[in-house]
Amino acid sequence: MSFVEYGDTIKDGDTAIVFLGHESMFPVKVQHGTVTQTKYGVIRHSTDLIGKKYGSKVTCSKGGWVFILHPTPELWTMNLPHRTQILYSTDISIITMMLELKPGSIVCESGTGSGSLSHALIRTVAPTGHLYTVEFHQQRAEKAREEFREHGVEHLVTVTNQDVCKNGFGVSNIADAVFLDIPSPWEAIGHAKSALKAEGGRICSFSPCIEQVQRTCLAMEEYGFTEINTLEILLRVYNVRTISLQIPDLGKAAEDNSSAGFDSSNPSHQGSPCANLQQGTVQFKSGVPLREVVGHTGYLTFATKS
C-alpha cells in the first residue's frame, strides 16, 4: 500500500480508512489477529479486512456495516493524529497551484508538523520529484519518518531535524518551490533563496498574523523576490435543503391560474411548485449557509525568485 501507488486489495500492514459516515471516519493499521472496535461492533482484521478489496462494505459483529477506503492525502488530512495545527485541503489546493507543482518538482518544506501538507506535496511531485522537509522538533521529525515509511513514500521524501532559520534546508540551487510554516519565516527567506533554483523558483509562507506577513514581505523584497502577493482563503459551505414558502396573494392573476384547469391530483403535476396551491404553500430547494463557519485560518504570501 502506498499513498501514491494505489492497490486493489487490503494487505497486512496497510493503513486503511474506516468510513462510518461523512462526519465519522478514522485510520487503522491492518494487522493479522487484531480487532478494531466501532459503534457497530468489532472488525476482525484477519477475516474482515485482509484480502478484501478497498471500498468493500464490511459487516461488523453487531450487524452494522462500514466501508474500508484506500487512504489518500485528502482523507489523511481529515483523520491524521494531530501533533501540531495543520493545513486543510482548502489552503493545500491553492498552495499546490500557486507554487506551480507537478510530477518531477523538487520542493523544500518547513516545518513538517503533522504531515498534512507533506502527503499532498509528495502525491503531487511523484513519481520522479522529491520533498525535502525540515522539522525543528526531534520527536515530530522521527514520527514523520515513521509515517512516511509506513505509507510507502519514504523514497520520495527526506526528513531533516534542524533549525531552518539557522541551518537552512540542506540543499542548494535545486528546489522548484519552498514552503514555510514557521513562527518567524522572515528569518528563513535567505536560506529559501539559496535552496531555490537559479531563476523562477516560487516561495510560499503561511502565517496566522498580519504582523508576520509584513515582516516576511519586507524580507522578500530585501532578498530580491518579485511578484509578492498575499491572500486568504475563506470557505463558505451551503446546505441544500427543502423549504416551504407561502404563496403570495397575486389577485386576479392567481384566480386565472386556478381557472386554467390545473389538476393537483394528476401524477404528472406532483413535482410542480404549483402542486401545493391548495395548501397555500410551495416547496423549493434552497442553498442555506451554515450558521457557524470557519473564520480566519492564515495568510498565504507568494513570491518569485528573479
Q: What would you measure as the largest C-alpha separation in the chain, in angstroms?
A: 84
Cell numbers that stand for 74 in this block:
485528502
Q: Is 181 annotated in some ligand binding site?
A: yes
Q: Is 114 annotated in some ligand binding site?
A: yes
Q: Which residues contact 12 (CB under 8 A, 6 or more apart)?
A: 30, 31, 32, 50
DSSP 209: S
Q: Is 117 annotated in some ligand binding site?
A: yes
Cα 115 to Cα 146: distance, rounded to the nearest angstrom: 11
Tell me the CB-side half-sphere exposure of residue 244, using CA atoms within 13 A: 6
What strands lie across the sheet with 202-207, from one edge to the other? 157-161, 130-135, 106-110, 177-180, 202-207, 299-305, 225-231
Could you give the angle at the alpha carbon of 144 between the alpha carbons of 177 and 116, nearest 5°? Answer: 55
Helix (H) or strand (E) holding 214, with range, is: helix 210-222
Q: Which residue, chain included where needed, has cell 522521527?
A: 142
Binding residues for S-adenosyl-L-methionine, by number, are 114-117, 135, 163, 181
Binding residues, by number, are 114-117, 135, 163, 181
